[in-house]
Amino acid sequence: MIWNEEIECMSREDIEELQLKKLQNILKYAYDNVDYYHNKYDSMNIYPEDIQTLKDIEKLPFTTKDELREYYPFGMFAVDPKKIIEVHSSSGTTGKPVVSGYTQKDIESWSEIIARGLSMMGVTDEDIIQNTHGYGLFTGGFGIHYGAHKVGATVIPISTGQSRRQIEIMEDFGTTVMIFTPSYGLYLAELAIEEGFDFKNSSIKSIGFGAEMWTNEMRKEIEKRFNAPAYNIYGLTELMGPGVGIECSTQEGLHISEDYFYPEIIDPETLKTQGENTKGELVLTNLEREGMPIIRFRTKDISSITKETCQCGRTTSRMTRITGRSDDMLKVKGVAIFPSQIEKALLKVNNIEPHYQIIVTRPHLMDEIEVKVEASKELFFDEIKEMMNVKKKIEEYIESEIGLRVKVTLVEPKSIPRSKGKAVRVIDTRDIH
């Protein structure tokens, strides 16, 4: 089902014409109403009227998370605070949090964007959505909630936690759609088995997941355990929240609502704009945001974009799933490594659980990586020879993927801490600052 056919199936020429018009409007709006943009553009002798084509956006400076933090809490708002009806913020785990403000119009826009995405996942007004995303300052819970209301589905706003209760609700309420982070989904699947819940006989028909990186192997594991297709949802607090990109039934990239967001891919080293189907850092611009317009925001997320028409009939640009972050990349012995590469190798191996931690140390002068991964119950209580074979196989797969030999430690099932939100996959104890 296509939620908004006029926009989602618009010709590429019409999309770009609409984007240019909205870009020119939002630039003037941000320049006139946000001191940060006014002062920055003035200092560089750049003015909204200089943007005559979409390519001219490259003349504009980037906006970074550090700059947004400098204006904490409300310095980036473009409207009188009385018009802001809701605020959310990032976790602030690496410094001051970024605060995001929404007017009534912004909430309506957010609802529309999520409604499009939920429709891509096959959600209708007949569905019951169990939303395990957090309902606090985190944008995840509310974004899905607003879109579900727009579609007319029933929402169970259970939020994160109460994990055994989640299984009970799933069964008693006849949940048809689950929303979770991949790591929390796997945790729920484990608990469900303990509780005797059979996904093959459940009502679940669709899963929406995001908020952390994952691999195709992780998706297959989730789909196998829940016996339902899983669709990727991408978003970030700075731009709006979840919904910037959502997968359709073909699972061939996330459709971007291009009437609300203008996407670019840049080389994170040279900062030059990249062409289609070239991996780089995703940069996003709000095209229609009243409370807090953000222009050319460096997401640090690694992706690529295609503008080819999708098999589903939608013509909007699609981004590939996030495969790493330009700032989360691990440099070990001079080699650039993304945790997702190690996960990809792990999930090719049988007899282990999809729970792991990557521990990077520098005991002397050389970096060392240890990957702790849970053995399955059967393997853990099997003979030592079989465990050694699996350990060797994992080491070979990881070496093939990243080009480095790592130490693999098989640990007891359920011994790696579980996460109810984003999983902590990497522990880097090196003093490299």
User: For position 208, which CATH number holds?
Assistant: 3.40.50.12780
Rounded Cα distance between 210 and 187, Å, is: 15
Q: How many CB atoms lie within 10 A of CB 82?
A: 6
pLDDT at 93: 47
DSSP secondary structure of 220-268 = HHHHHHHTS-EEEEEEETTTTEEEEEEE-TT-SSEEE-TTTEEEEEE-T
Mean pLDDT, each 10-residue run in order, the chain (433 residues): 93 97 98 97 96 97 93 96 94 71 98 97 97 89 96 95 91 96 85 89 93 76 93 93 95 97 94 94 97 96 95 96 72 68 84 87 76 88 85 89 86 82 74 49
Residue ranges making up the domain that contains 95: 1-327
pTM confidence score: 0.79
Tell the residue number behind the tokens 């999983």, with chain if given: 423
Considering the domain architecture, whether residues 309 and 400 belong to the same structural domain is answered as no
Tokens of 46: 């750049």
Rounded Cα distance between 426 and 266, Å, is: 26
Residue 433 within any structural domain of the chain: no
Domain boundary at 298, 327, 356, which? Answer: 327
pLDDT at 317: 97
Rounded Cα distance between 106 and 307, Å, is: 26
Rounded Cα distance between 302 and 135, Å, is: 27
- Count how many domains the chain has: 2
pLDDT at 161: 81
Considering the domain architecture, whether residues 302 and 197 belong to the same structural domain is answered as yes
Considering the domain architecture, whether residues 240 and 344 belong to the same structural domain is answered as no
Residue 91 within any structural domain of the chain: yes
pLDDT at 16: 97
Helix (H, G, I), strand (E, B) or coil at 336: strand
